[in-house]
Amino acid sequence: MATWCACDQPENLPKKKIKRPVENLKESVFFARRQDGKFLVERETGARRTGLFRLPLTGEEATGWPVLLETKYCITRYRVTLTCFAAPDGFCPPVETDDDRIWCLPEEAELLPVATPYRKVLRKLLHEPTLDA
């Protein structure tokens, strides 16, 4: 090493940081649609995606709901499995303020500021043909 390194004390050089392990996360959302075709989205609350919309998060109420789709995405050191459930007709859980949720027409979906993982889910749910269509 001395032949190509100009450093007198290599032990004082900065050391590489230990790589943090990849964490697997699960995220559950629901897709609620009204009779008029509008679907429900809510504002993001975290610091990273402030100002964006997403599909509403589910809690234990989603137990037994049918899974519409499941997708995976990576963000920094996280591997996220995003599961989207079909909400029953008329389902809309209470929120602190209605300003956090809006009902959108499918043609408005492309105009919404939405993070890429949710946009991909919305595109699949709104634009892919179904057996009953």
Mean pLDDT by 10 residues, the chain (133 residues): 71 85 93 90 80 87 88 93 91 70 88 90 79 46
The domains found in the chain, sorted by start residue, are 24-90+98-127 (3.90.79.10)
| pLDDT for the residue 31 | 93
Residue 53: how many other CB atoms lie within 10 Å: 22
With CA atoms as reference, report the closest residue to 86 among 102, 100, 69, 107: 69
Query: E strand or H helix at 121, and its extent?
Result: helix 116-127
Q: Tell me which amino acid residue 36 is.
A: D
What the block records as the tokens of 14 is 């900065």
Q: What pLDDT is attached to residue 10?
A: 76
Among residues 65, 90, 80, which one has the least CA distance to residue 118?
A: 80
Q: Are strands 39-43 and 53-54 parallel, antiparallel or unpaired?
A: antiparallel
